[in-house]
Amino acid sequence: MSNPNARIKKVKTHISQNEGLIFEKSRTGTRAFHLPVADVPAPAAEELVPAHLLRHDDLEGLPEVSEPEVVRHYTRLSTWNYGTDTGMFPLGSCTMKYNPKFNEWAARLPAIARTHPLAPEAAIRGNLRLIKELEDSLCEITGLDACSLQPTAGAHGELTGVMMIRAALEERGDPRKYILIPDAAHGTNPASAVMCGYKVITLISKPNGLLDLEALDKAMDDSVAGLMITNPNTLGIFEEDIAKACELIHSRGGYVYMDGANMNALVGVARPGDMGADVMHLNLHKTFSTPHGGGGPGCGPVLVKKELEPYLPFPTIKRNPDGHSSFDYDRPKSIGRVKAFYGNYGMMVRALAYIRALGPDGLRMATEIAVLNANYVRHHLENDYDIPFDGPAMHEVVFNDKKQQAFGIRNGDIAKRLIDYGFHPPTMSFPLVAPGAIMIEPTESESREELDFFIDAMKSIARECEENPDFVKAAPHNARLGRLDETAAARNPVLRWKPTEVAKAAAK
Ligand SMILES: *Cc1c(COP(=O)(O)O)cnc(C)c1O
């Protein structure tokens, strides 16, 4: 049995080491560089830099600090961050798995990292080959026929995919009016459908959290373009009737879009193409271990069955008889470009590195461990937290705060208290069909020991909710900052440092 209190102590020690720091470090006249005094007359700025490129904004009040102060400041800030390099990140639906450093090595190889986006095709044959190989791997993994790596996020892939469905239906003569989306869907699904001009019909899930085939049967007619469905769904349960649902949609002339953000439960085990999906996206920044978060570059490839291939964004990449790959712009039915150049290339390199490093057996094993870990957490916490839907968990498990509500505690309080134990909180209040949701996705990255620490922390919090609810409601107690005003933070975000009046005055 691991000791959650020892864990809290460790977190506290780490924080106190960094305490007592002030943010304003500027001291007039301090410099991070030393240059010899110039022995020639200084040219005017306009002689060195074209006038239109010169900055005229007020630089007064920039911090004046020494080199060690700059380095320590940023290094310290980096240690205040929480990431998969510092601990378990059980943020359900987001698949925050560890990003192997091998991927980073590959992406930083000069021949790869320094490719110029405008380099002529003859100079980037290797890059094109690499992209093509990733496309082939992803096709094999998903059971689909063709791929575009242009989209840069899952939601971007959704938009691209639905545009392709629309284009295919338009060519048949009628783009249709509606898209069917289960109520457990990620919010991006209806948003993508609406952006493509569709109205959304929400399908109410069955009491067990699964797609209701009867409701689907009633809703599907020739005014409906298709179904957008996530499998396993956002409750972490496998949609058992997926093949029947696809057949039904196809028999009435529609297409099935599968949201592939939850592929971490399927890779190497089951393929959406075999289940009947016509088009899907993957989140390389979830399933394939490329970094995500903070608005950084992502990659949300779309994959399609043969029938939809002509509509892929152009250029696509084709393999020529001589073995070389090249861009193919001759795509008359294409929906057009969805991204400048060819998407976020560095992410493609990382994903291919991950796939090649693991190989087919390794990918399958990663999936199996991800599912095992989620079920391990579920098994150990099911007496402490309520489970709203009963199916066996896939790669994530959804609890809720029903038991803790009796003591006046909401899921957000539990999340805040978990910070005291040194963990990033799980996903809260999503999916909406599970009020008070606490959605935990441990991923395959965590060891048995780390999972036990997490489970013990959650058990300990469940006990605290009964014995000392006010303490939990006031959490976090060990964090650098106490409970923040989340609404204010969202409405008035402070995204960059600005010189304070004090610093400005000091600089004068
Ligand atoms: C993350 C996620 C998305 C959106 O992906 P982004 O890369 O964040 O745009 C869509 N659907 C599901 C189920 C997701 O978990």
Q: Which atom of ligand 1 is nearest to the CA of 298?
A: 7
For residue 23, the 8-state DSSP code is S
Ligand 1 centre and the CA of 286: distance in Å?
Answer: 9
Q: Which atom of ligand 1 is nearest to the CA of 155?
A: 9
Residue 141 placed within a domain: yes
Q: Which atom of ligand 1 is nearest to the CA of 234?
A: 13
Report which protein residue has its CA nearest ligand 1's atom 3.
154
Tell which one of 95, 160, 188 to mutate to probe ligand 1, the residue whose CB is within 8 A of the most ligand atoms. 188
Task: Tell me the residue range of the domain where 303 lies.
Answer: 103-357
The answer to whether the CB of 298 is under 6 A from ligand 1 is: yes
The answer to whether the CB of 154 is under 6 A from ligand 1 is: yes
The answer to whether the CB of 234 is under 6 A from ligand 1 is: yes
Tell which one of 150, 152, 186 to mutate to probe ligand 1, the residue whose CB is within 8 A of the most ligand atoms. 186
Residue 314 placed within a domain: yes
One-character DSSP codes across 374-438: HHHHHHHHTTTSB-SS-SPPSS-EEEESHHHHTTT--HHHHHHHHHHTT----EES-STTSTTEE
Is a pLDDT exceeding 90 seen at residue 16? no
Residue 173 placed within a domain: yes
Confidence category of residue 507, pLDDT binned at 50, 70, 90: low
Is a pLDDT exceeding 80 seen at residue 15? no
Distance CA 465, CA 408 (A): 9
Distance CA 500, CA 68 (A): 22
Minimal CA–CA distance to 377: which of 393, 401, 400? 393
Distance CA 246, CA 281 (A): 17
In the chain the first and final C-alpha atoms are separated, in Å, by 60
Distance CA 412, CA 235 (A): 18
Tell which one of 235, 283, 302 to mutate to probe ligand 1, the residue whose CB is within 8 A of the most ligand atoms. 283
* Domains in the chain, number: 1
Q: Residue 253's CB: how many other CB atoms inside 10 A? A: 16
Dihedral angle over CA of 149, 151, 154, 159, nearest 10: -120
Ligand 1 centre and the CA of 280: distance in Å?
Answer: 12
pLDDT digit string, tens, across residues 112-146: 999 998 999 999 999 999 999 999 999 999 999 99
The answer to whether the CB of 181 is under 6 A from ligand 1 is: no
For residue 492, the 8-state DSSP code is S
Residue 121 placed within a domain: yes
Residue 292 placed within a domain: yes
Is a pLDDT exceeding 90 seen at residue 44? no
pLDDT digit string, tens, across residues 329-378: 999 999 999 999 999 999 999 999 999 999 999 999 999 999 999 999 99
Ligand 1 centre and the CA of 154: distance in Å?
Answer: 5
Q: Which atom of ligand 1 is nearest to the CA of 283?
A: 7
How much is the pLDDT for 20?
Answer: 46
**97, 444 contact by CB (below 8 A):** yes
Confidence category of residue 502, pLDDT binned at 50, 70, 90: low
Distance CA 335, CA 160 (A): 8
Residue 43 placed within a domain: no
Secondary element (H or E) of residue 477:
none
Is a pLDDT exceeding 90 seen at residue 295? no
CATH number, domain with residue 199: 3.40.640.10
The answer to whether the CB of 230 is under 6 A from ligand 1 is: yes
Is a pLDDT exceeding 80 seen at residue 506? no
One-character DSSP codes across 159-194: HHHHHHHHHHHHHHT---SEEEEETTS-THHHHHHH
Buried b / exposed e across 89-124, counting CB within 10 Å, b at 16+? bbbbbbbbbebbeebeebbeeeebeeeeeeeeeeeb
The answer to whether the CB of 228 is under 6 A from ligand 1 is: no
pLDDT digit string, tens, across residues 478-496: 988 889 888 998 898 887 7
Q: Read off φ and ψ for residue 441, nearest 5 degrees.
A: -125, 100
Q: Which residue has the tokens 């106490």?
A: 482
